[in-house]
Chains A and B, each alone.
Chain A
Amino acid sequence: MDSRFAIKDRKALLRPGVYVGLAVIVALLPLLFSSPYVLHILILTFIYTIAAVSFRTIVISGQFPLAHAAFMGLGAYLSAMGAKWLGMSPWLTVPLSALVTASIGMLIGYPFSRLRALYYAMGSLFFGIGIIQVIYAGGSWTGGYSGLTGIPALLPGIGSKVPYYYFFLGLALVSIVALYRIEFSRIGTNLKAISQSHVVASSVGISEGGYRILAVGVGCFFVGLAGAGYAHYNMVLSCSSFNFMATLWLVMYVLIGGVNSFGGPIVGTIILIIIPEYFRDLKMYSPFVTAVILGIVVYLMPQGLVGLPRLVRSKLTERRKIKKVSHAS
């Protein structure tokens, strides 16, 4: 492999193998758990994994968007309304609304590409709140405060969740592979270069604005896709699923899983969606517990949960070396 990522070659070869193995295991899960409730949680995990991974694509370009769940809602409502009011097939409205979400994201990304750090975060936060307010104000078109009901289903056969399970597993895999290829190509390198120093990046000819807008477009496309798919699975939409709090949960998935590695958001989403389900009776404490977990992760695992195996390995070799040294002396 003659790429300039030569140093990472071994890892790059290993990773897809591990992922394929995991995907096979996940594909067999419905044989073990037939309860609709378990399948529902797993489907949500797939949907939010797409959202979290696409969130991180924007983050690696040095932008910290706090409107990501709002864009998910935008994709969901656009697709739902297209199918419900215009009578279009969900198979058409899902990709279309993802495209529209991406376009709106890029349109907003243009003026926002001048903002940095806290200013970008706050700007996007308020824009996201604005999107949700507009949906609330949509009256009977969007269902307003009471929510949108009667959204056409994506797959035939109401009742079984198994088809949806495979649909969203496939959607998540395709999205993850698509975003992985962006990150580990020159495009991803340019995004990371801009985030490290936009002055240096533009001094070697990388257009800061162009790449920042591109990252937002890609991130919004996939989160719009996830939201649109969700709309036709759930068949009922409520604005509160996409509010500020939902964005903050996405941020938590990414931070706890590990913002510095591609797998971080995936691990974070799986753990933060599935584990709290076991303690559902304690749900009101979950923000508090999550905050504590974040603290622990940052203290003990600077790379996030995804860095845990590597951390354990390096601690073990360290210990072995210390033993050797003490034996020798």
Chain B
Amino acid sequence: MTLTLTHFSAAVVFALFTSIVFGITQKNTAKEQVRYGAYCFAMFVGGVFVAGWLMWLIRR
């Protein structure tokens, strides 16, 4: 069985699980952990969009 993910969905799944681990391990309180996890997730996914638009600009 082969799992087929698009580039974007793979990046989102990667961002989700990595952010959970970063949030738990890098901060002390539950509130800080949730906030930091959300921040990391936003940065990962935001980075995907920025990289995508940069590639679109380079291609033109």
A in complex with B: no
Q: Which residues of A are in contact with B by a Cβ distance under 8 Å? A: none
Q: Which residues of B are in contact with A by a Cβ distance under 8 Å? A: none
